Structure 1
């Protein structure tokens, strides 16, 4: 109760102190025009050069406008943003994850299509920030869910580190060998927040669903009780029951405990991110970059075509209450400029939405990831509403604890998905 009350109070303070104040060129508010940005990235050391590059780009066009970044804690971000939306005031520009978190809030956002038309060909990942044919944010990064593996552990187990398993049967067999010969676990999994199931669904889904099933899922025509969808959730339960995961997955935080299990060599695989945490650059601080392998989903269903699951990762949007949408949209364009995104790649290891940025010096794992973008498919979980994702997280924990069956979970998810 205290925490909930504190969150409400904090939201009110932040909205009052950090509300947008851009009044347009030639006017003043509090001693000068200001655009306020809310995000959870600008306070990170790895994003410092990115923020400065974006500010510099914007200052060339609007030298009299001040930019104020307010970095919010991610675990409270959408709660605080929800309070701002309810109040009808807050930041001028705000950061979103692609998918449901943005789509559930488009009524509070300005459609950006007319402002960002010139960036369409330069940036990828737009679909994750679109709803009903309109674009509500410009992509900063591409976010995907590659399966990373530890080549050194493969070598120690007598497996070919350059030929990861292509089928689920071979994957399980290889895991048994790795666990027996190295004493490590097969998969690092953190599901304390209920997020692990999202990575599992998207990381393995292209190996389980047929091409038509995959297209239908993304288009919103989802059959939760089909054999192949059911198989993904069965494997979620089976992998834990067979001891392939680290102990206590439901009490292990994904950020960053599960990734630490992989990077410390205590698990051979992890379904991680390609940008810009829990990814190749983070792992490279502890593992030799040459030992970090990237594999496609093993084939679970005959005829499935595994691909890299990715979408627009994070993107900046403009609040409907801002005084000057055109000015705020121009800031979004600076936040997605090539120089800014190149700095984000260099500093944080982000796979930028601007695919023209040179990533050749980033190492073999990045080369493998970028190579998969051309044939990649949207991530399955990104197509779901935030309400469905929240339910799936709770049910995923219950599946691992044994308090719900796969059939019961899928029935509830189908009903929630229909309701939107």
Structure 2
């Protein structure tokens, strides 16, 4: 869209108000990312065109220290007007310093997917998601073909998935799945990927509140599958001591494995792999689960996803109305189009037009949003549980513990984090 047309489109959906040299500040860890530049530039232009005299300023913040710096700023009432955050625990820990948005931006909110990652325990929405985050499997079509597998027919059941991995193992050239669990993140991905089809909607809800335990059969089966797939030779040697970001995904792009559990947005996603491997060589599919719950899409694998990142409004901002309009601009379909095209995100706003983007992978993913979305189980785990799962997952692959012992240890942590 032409820049002038963009300004007009966004301005038309906002109520302009006269201002006098007011500045709206946005804290965001991605400001210096080259692939995001067009998004920030167009958001700034659109906002300032709709609000003559106002300035939208993006302030880059260090990723590692971001939430510490933000918490200090909010506590001292010196924080930014608009706050960027990851969905899940990070966002929900900030709600005391934000305003609820449910009745402030109703028209925008009705067009969004992924709101639960930014909805607090009081049932109110405190951030507007701009991106979706979740997990799918990316696969190397050339390696499938070399192994004698049909590159246009990825597995849709556990039996087919097992056959694919048996084929790669028999060839002995490349691993079936690239994995890297030094930090324990692979185990998080695995939990959500396995639960996507094997936990019922009721069980997913019970997991969130702590009523479904790690030692209960459906979850313990996932822990057992973690051990069994390693014993069956699905992964490369040494994966338990390799780093996920970005070693795992670089090795996959270089042909180190036929498959990898990847993300929908930000890193290790469709655009990155298509750029590194070629659009025609990258396939994508939802991960089948070893057991299938009766109410999960008639047995079809789901796609674990929720809100990825989003923006909220500081309750102590002196310009709350302008800050709300800034969030509206940052979340508008016209502006988000640039984030999809250049950064490769999957948008949370369902009105974003992705039809002009030449990516078979993105088209498949967008098609699953309305029909196959399921909760990201690891994101509905407490931070304490995930820390313990990191440790137990490594011990399980090293043979230092058993599934029963690991589940019991995780139950203890869960009971403290999610008391009934």
Q: Is the 8 A contact 2:182 2:240 kept in 1?
A: yes
Range moving further from structure 2, 148-157 or 323-332: 323-332
Which one of the candidate residues 312, 319, 331 is aligned to 1:336? Answer: 331
Q: Does 1:42 align with 2:31?
A: yes
Distance in 2, Cα, partners of 1:228 & 1:300: 10
Range moving further from structure 2, 408-417 or 310-319: 408-417
Distance in 2, Cα, partners of 1:161 & 1:364: 14
Q: CA RMSD in A?
A: 2.3
Q: Does 1:199 align with 2:192?
A: no
The match for 1:7 is: none
Range moving further from structure 2, 391-400 or 176-185: 391-400
Residue 56 of structure 1 deviates from its aligned partner by 1.6
The match for 2:307 is: 312
User: 1:174 and 1:395, CA in 2 relative to 1: closer, same or farther beyond 3 A?
Assistant: same
- SS in structure 2 opposite 1:213? helix
Distance in 1, Cα, partners of 2:409 & 2:320: 40
Deviations 1:269-296 (A, max 9, x none): 1111111320110001121222212222
Distance in 1, Cα, partners of 2:85 & 2:329: 16
Residue 211 of structure 1 deviates from its aligned partner by 4.4
User: 1:198 and 1:330, CA in 2 relative to 1: closer, same or farther beyond 3 A?
Assistant: same
Residue 322 of structure 1 deviates from its aligned partner by 2.1
1:57-68 superposed matches below 5 A? 57-68=46-57
1:2-401 superposed matches below 5 A? 32-131=21-120, 132-181=122-171, 183-218=173-208, 221-303=211-293, 305=296, 306-360=301-355, 361-375=357-371, 376-401=373-398
Deviations 1:142-161 (A, max 9, x none): 11201111122111111122
TM-score normalized with structure 2 length: 0.86
User: 1:191 and 1:323, CA in 2 relative to 1: closer, same or farther beyond 3 A?
Assistant: farther
Deviations 1:348-371 (A, max 9, x none): 111111222222333211121111
Q: Is the 8 A contact 2:131 2:265 kept in 1?
A: yes
Residue 128 of structure 1 deviates from its aligned partner by 1.4
Range moving further from structure 2, 33-42 or 372-381: 33-42
Deviations 1:286-319 (A, max 9, x none): 2122221222222311445321111111101122
Distance in 2, Cα, partners of 1:225 & 1:189: 25
User: 1:212 and 1:122, CA in 2 relative to 1: closer, same or farther beyond 3 A?
Assistant: closer
Q: Is the 8 A contact 2:19 2:52 kept in 1?
A: no
Distance in 2, Cα, partners of 1:296 & 1:338: 26
Runs (5+) with no aligned partner, structure 1: 1-23
Distance in 1, Cα, partners of 2:138 & 2:203: 25
Residue 386 of structure 1 deviates from its aligned partner by 2.9
User: 1:26 and 1:344, CA in 2 relative to 1: closer, same or farther beyond 3 A?
Assistant: closer
- SS in structure 2 opposite 1:397? helix
Distance in 1, Cα, partners of 2:251 & 2:304: 23
Residue 219 of structure 1 deviates from its aligned partner by 5.8
Aligned residues: 393
User: 1:182 and 1:293, CA in 2 relative to 1: closer, same or farther beyond 3 A?
Assistant: farther
Q: Is the 8 A contact 1:166 1:299 kept in 2?
A: no
Range moving further from structure 2, 259-268 or 352-361: 352-361
Distance in 2, Cα, partners of 1:109 & 1:387: 25
The match for 1:16 is: none
User: 1:383 and 1:141, CA in 2 relative to 1: closer, same or farther beyond 3 A?
Assistant: same
Q: Is the 8 A contact 1:284 1:292 kept in 2?
A: yes
- SS in structure 1 opposite 2:260? strand
TM-score normalized with structure 1 length: 0.86
The match for 1:3 is: none
Distance in 2, Cα, partners of 1:220 & 1:63: 50
Distance in 1, Cα, partners of 2:400 & 2:163: 28
Q: Is the 8 A contact 2:193 2:289 kept in 1?
A: no
User: 1:88 and 1:397, CA in 2 relative to 1: closer, same or farther beyond 3 A?
Assistant: farther
